[in-house]
Amino acid sequence: MRLLILAIILLLPACSRPQGPPPLKPEVLDQAYTTALKKWDIDKDGTADCHDLGLWRTGIFNGLDINRDDFLDQDEFASAAWADVTFQIVQFDVVDRSGDNLISRPEFARVNNSDFGRLDDNGNCTIERAELENWVREKMRADRRAGVGRKDKKPKSDRPRF
């Protein structure tokens, strides 16, 4: 009987723990949202949306188009991976839909952005605060699973990467 009572006493605290992730501190969410807006709100209208993504891509294309002919050849496209992580995965032949060995502005603009898409959960072309909160929670869970923040493991960065 004493053993049963002891087992109940030991198990009760485990059962009363709150389920799910702890609430995010408002300052953590504010910092993450501010960081996302710094990267994605190109037109500075207070929202990060597909219009901003188009402006982002136009800036990247302009920087890559060394000879200013409004097309990217394979040599120019090779630097795209440094400007946008999406192009570390997407190959030249996939972007060059016309097959003319040149990438036009419309072909370049059609490539989905992996960072923006990861944040825009509902696909409405706007990064909303709730979507960012979900992303931060998932990132924190992944970091905990990977041991980031433990004293025996050193994180690469203390800020979320967008």
Domain ranges of the chain: 42-144
pLDDT in tens, 104-160: 999 999 988 878 888 898 999 998 988 888 888 888 888 888 876 655 555 555 555
* 126-127 and 103-104 strand pairing: unpaired
Rg (CA), the chain: 23
Residue environment code for 70-81, b if the CB has 16+ CB neighbours within 10 A, otherwise e: ebbbeebbeebe
| Predicted pLDDT of residue 19 | 58
Mean pLDDT of the chain: 81
| Predicted pLDDT of residue 14 | 54
Q: Which fold has domain 42-144?
A: Recoverin; domain 1 (1.10.238)
Residue 74 confidence class, pLDDT cut points 50, 70, 90: very high
